[in-house]
Amino acid sequence: MTKSDLVNDVAKAIPGGKKRDAEVIVNTLFDRMTEALTQGDRIEIRGFGSFHLRERKARTGRNPKTSDKVQVPSKKVPFFKAGKQLKKLVDSVRK
C-alpha cells in the first residue's frame, strides 16, 4: 500500500469522498506522528502498535568499497512494535 492508496481509501470512507480532504487528513496524521517522534514521544495506537525511538550506539563499521574501517556515530532510529491484535490478524492470514 502506498500513501496515495491510503488517501483513496480514506476518501471513500468519508462523507462526500473528496480526495483533497482525505489527503489533508493523511498528511496531518503523518506530520503529527513525525513531530511526536522528533520530540522523543512515544506513539501508541491501540490494536495496531506503537512507535518509539531506539538509540543505536556508536560503532566501527567498514566501507564496503575500500574495506577501510569507518566510525559510525550513535543515532536514534524509529522503531515499530506491532500490537497484539495486529500480530493475531497477520498470523491468521498464513498461506
SS3 22: helix
pTM: 0.78
CB-based contact 31:23 (threshold 8 Å): no
Q: Report the CATH fold assignment for 3-91.
A: HU Protein; Chain A (4.10.520)
CB-based contact 60:74 (threshold 8 Å): no
Among 22, 27, 24, 28, residue whose Cα is nearest residue 10: 22
Q: If pLDDT is split at 50, 70 and 90, which confidence band does 95 have? A: low
% residues pLDDT > 70 (the chain)? 98
CA atoms within 13 Å, Cβ hemisphere of 89: 8
Per-chain mean pLDDT for the chain: 93
CB-based contact 56:77 (threshold 8 Å): yes
